[in-house]
Amino acid sequence: MNKLTQYAQHFTKLELMKARLEVFQNESGREGVEFIIKTDTGNYHELYLQTINLEKDRSIKISKSVLGEPKDNLWVALVLFMKEMEPVLYLIPSNQLAKPDDYIFFDNNQSERFSYLSNWEIKVFVKGIPEFSKFALNNIVGQL
């Protein structure tokens, strides 16, 4: 695991705790799901952690075979890193990926023969940031 991913894990955990959510490391062995969170109402949610260093990349791709089927309690925890700025955490409902807008969210389906290469893609760019803000942790906590 690289240092950026380790830092993203710690940052995400701290941000979730500051939001008064119970945070558990995923012990189920499910690939990609880093955390399980529990809300005040007793609901449990899985977080699939992804990072993007905006100094190098402008998008992330999430393998459909790894993430699995989108569902109400599965979220992509996306941590954005930029030089000389604090990281930013976004919680994106996995169901959002199943409704691509071809602006920020893309569905890169492959033929059945190559379905293992199918992925969802999230693009991050300056004009898209206002759209992303609705997925900021403080805007999502009430929906959990």
Q: Token match 């699995």: residue?
A: 68
Q: What CATH number matches the domain at 3-143, 3.40.1350.10, 3.10.20.30, 3.40.50.2300, 3.30.70.20?
A: 3.40.1350.10
CA distances 42 to 10, 14, 17, 21, 64, Å, are 23, 20, 15, 10, 28
Task: Determine the longest span between alpha carbons in the chain, in angstroms.
Answer: 45
In DSSP terms, 106 is beta-bridged to 121
Q: What are phi and psi of 108, to 5 degrees?
A: -100, 75
pLDDT at residue 58 in the model: 93
Low-confidence residues of the chain: pLDDT under 50: none
pLDDT at residue 72 in the model: 92
pLDDT at residue 87 in the model: 94
pLDDT at residue 23 in the model: 93
pLDDT at residue 114 in the model: 72
Which tokens is 65 given? 């075979």
Could you count the other beta carbons within 10 Å of the beta carbon of residue 58?
Answer: 11
The domain locations on the chain are 3-143
